[in-house]
Structure 1
């Protein structure tokens, strides 16, 4: 089978675990594909993608490229259209016939990583931070059957488009400041999209720490301050590294077949190997 090229683009990129995850999967699948990483800023993405030759099969995109990748895509899946974010570009055709298909696999990564720790529904979801990942978290909340979402952000005004996104997926979205958790429904799920090095921005009562699940999207350093509080209280915690693995699995489906819903050959074995490669058990929990 011929060698094809893929990579993760972003900035900063040196810390990325994506090359390890993808190479682990391709080895098991018997695919002699190359997968690397490259430091790329948003202003440079279009020019760099235009210069890629026909040996390239696709790209993974991380911050700050998801909006720029959305603009580049010739067509987009439903989740990318909803969130305004593309984290996967799949190339088809050659030369002037090449087309770029854009996908968002972050939503699936959130839902699947929560399912791995036994969370499959949540009536009210609270999201900390109002950036790009928050949009994927809003759509994931809808897939979990949520009726309402509260978003706590440093600048709620900048997160105003998420209110409209909530309406489009059947949710009521309320915006507030990070240090204000009053006058809101008690969450069954908290999604922290803030940097892992940041101190816990909210003081949660014990009833939330023990009764609600936490997805801490940032996985370095681990555990974060908020994740430590949740663990100390005996609450359910999903690791952001598990989210990364699960969204990467969906990316690999796309790179193989251009279909995020088509399972890989031996997919359970591939997933277990990907999780193990970054020190996680089958539930996405760090192995002690």
Structure 2
């Protein structure tokens, strides 16, 4: 292994709530060790700090002043952080959510630039895990920061119609409006509770992007009788690896995809942005699988660091 130099030293972190058992530190550290880098990944837990989610802006500025190379951003800050950045990469701007911040320059010239690796992370996971899945009609549950990223990935991958349901109707409507502006009128629609049965019965696939089903938030994100054998079902939750939704879908003969691939591949893309080094994506997925099975306890948010 090459001996690391001062230029190979990286201080990075993760801002979010309830992130004490996130797999991201170990996942990033393993890849850094393989490449011979000095790499310190710090958790900045809003719950431990006792601060509200909108404190994310203050924390980003402090991290830049302290010499951090970059930050991952997770629930509930992926959209709140937007107003506190100096610039957005085109994909992050289009999605309207950021899960990775890179600090460019040092001192008074330091700029915080927002990126979104959830889009590419989900797309890579989907391509690997459900390569034969039909994408004509898809139902998506959740319209938050992760949901916005997944929606962009699905429409970019060729989904002809995406029906989006969210407990906050205005949030779903806002996301749908942005998607149609980018991808064309009618590519996305809002599905309220009265529509969900109809759109699901006609769908090729169902993707779930909310925290429901993760440890501490048990349950199903939709009525069980709407999960039918003609669907493929993807869940961005990775703790537990098999949520109640995926267990039900598997029992009914559906092809399923858990959130572990999205975790690993978004981490690989963030690692490249932080270091300029190309990670071994297959190795990071294998490491994520090992960590998820070795440390199956509570924590780590759905669909993100």
State the TM-score, normalizing by the size of structure 1. Answer: 0.86
The answer to whether structure 1 residue 234 and structure 2 residue 253 are counterparts is: yes
Residue in 2 that maps onto 1:158: 171
Q: Which runs of 5+ in 1 are unaligned?
A: 258-262, 281-288
Kindly report the root-mean-square deviation, in angstroms, between the aligned alpha carbons of the 2 structures: 2.3
Residue in 1 that maps onto 2:127: 115
* Higher RCO structure (Cα 8 Å, ≥6 apart): 2
Residue in 2 that maps onto 1:132: 145
Residue in 1 that maps onto 2:56: 45
Q: 1:249 to 1:275 in 2, by over 3 A?
A: farther
Selected match of 1:188 from 201, 204, 216: 204
Q: SS where residue 33 of structure 1 aligns?
A: strand
Q: State how far apart, in whole Å, the 2-side matches of 1:138 and 1:189 are.
A: 13
Q: State how far apart, in whole Å, the 2-side matches of 1:270 and 1:89 are.
A: 20
Selected match of 2:25 from 19, 42, 49: 19
Q: State how far apart, in whole Å, the 2-side matches of 1:6 and 1:122 are.
A: 37
- Cα shift at 1:68: 2.6
Moved over 4 A (4+): none
Q: State how far apart, in whole Å, the 2-side matches of 1:21 and 1:71 are.
A: 29
Q: State how far apart, in whole Å, the 2-side matches of 1:265 and 1:134 are.
A: 26
- Cα shift at 1:275: 3.7
Conserved in 2, the CA contact under 8 Å of 1:152 and 1:180? Answer: no
Conserved in 2, the CA contact under 8 Å of 1:87 and 1:104? Answer: yes
The answer to whether structure 1 residue 72 and structure 2 residue 97 are counterparts is: no
- Cα shift at 1:136: 1.2
Number of aligned positions between the proteins:
273
**What do residues 140-194 of structure 1 show as CA deviations (whole Å, max 9, x unaligned)?**
1112201111112223233211221221123522212246424437222211123
Selected match of 1:5 from 4, 11, 30: 11
State the TM-score, normalizing by the size of structure 2. Answer: 0.81
Q: State how far apart, in whole Å, the 2-side matches of 1:75 and 1:142 are.
A: 25
Q: State how far apart, in whole Å, the 1-side matches of 2:117 and 2:23 are.
A: 16
Q: State how far apart, in whole Å, the 2-side matches of 1:156 and 1:270 are.
A: 37
The answer to whether structure 1 residue 172 and structure 2 residue 187 are counterparts is: yes
Q: State how far apart, in whole Å, the 1-side matches of 2:37 and 2:134 are.
A: 36
Q: State how far apart, in whole Å, the 1-side matches of 2:59 and 2:279 are.
A: 32
The answer to whether structure 1 residue 269 and structure 2 residue 275 are counterparts is: no
**What do residues 182-236 of structure 1 show as CA deviations (whole Å, max 9, x unaligned)?**
443722221112311122413355xx64332211112233422211111112321
